[in-house]
Amino acid sequence: MKKEGIFLYHALAFMTMALWGVTFVSTKTLINQGLSPAQIFTIRFVIAYTGLLTACLIRGGEYRRLFSRSLRHELLFLLMGIAGGSLYFLTENTALKYTQACNVSFIVCVAPLLTILLTLVLKHTVKSRIISELEHVKVRFPLIAGTVLALSGMVMVIFDGTSLNLSPKGDLLAFTAALSWAFYSQFMGQMTNRYGTLFATRKVFFYGLLTIMPVLFLSDNSNLAMVRFDSIQVWGNLLFLSTIASLFCFALWNRIMLVIGNVTATNYVYLNPVFTLIGAIIFLGESMSVTSGTGSALILGGVILSGLKSKKG
């Protein structure tokens, strides 16, 4: 692909992170309105899956197929549906109940480091065709320096000259979400290459919904009677999370990982705290200090630097 095309996908990755950064604020709002993490995920992904299924039926052909071409691929889609769907969002959304949105966003940002670590470990320990097709990663100075720079910026954004309000339970859940996303990122690019963006994303959404159902049915859902679904805060945030953040952004992100590589793409997760902070300013009336502004600049610089020569041609 030409350099102009690659640049476009880097710009789209930046835009996707901007939208996903705001989801922390949006989800926190829905939790404050009385919805549980499992309920938010289910409503969000039912709407998104319906849209994807409709698009696949309209496209026809291979997109209408129910199952992938092999049992191994089907099981991999199941694992990705858990890692990038039910487990990721359940742990991330539940973490928002116990700690601040920015704290969760900061901890989830270790996903790029976990992605690199998992890639290196899998490539050197597991012998299979699927593993051999993972992106080849070589640890070089730009990657190390960019990671240190981005992490330094995130510390500045979160501490902001004050003490960090840690919650062990919430922080552990957020780390689990980061680990889940790192696993999802390992394989989504090659599965998108094999089956196309719409089909691959639809399969992940389906298995995400399927595996969240036991959690939903075993939970107490009596709170739904008290949620004001006619409130713009509720249905507005649900529509944003389902149509923009899920249906549009997930399909786009899977394509981005295919074009620029899963490791390079995942580095953009470092931008999450920046956009979470911006979303908090716009929607929650919070302010940005000089420390947070400086940290945001460091994060952006780190993302750019870590993407330089981070993989072997």
Average pLDDT over every residue of 190-211: 90
**Rounded Cα distance, 46 and 257, in Å:** 24
Residues 6+ apart with CB under 8 A from 131: 122, 123
**Rounded Cα distance, 82 and 9, in Å:** 26
CB atoms within 10 A of CB 134: 20
Residue type, 266: T
Mean pLDDT, the chain, integer:
83
Quick: pLDDT tens for 249-291.
988 988 888 888 876 787 787 777 778 878 777 776 766 677 7
**Rounded Cα distance, 179 and 15, in Å:** 23
Q: Which residues pair with 311 in a beta bridge?
A: 137
The 3-state DSSP class for residue 179 equals: helix
Q: What is the pTM of this model?
A: 0.78
The pLDDT assigned to 216 comes to 92
- Work out the angle at residue 71's Cα, subtended by the Cα atoms of residues 70 and 72, and round it to the nearest 5 degrees: 90
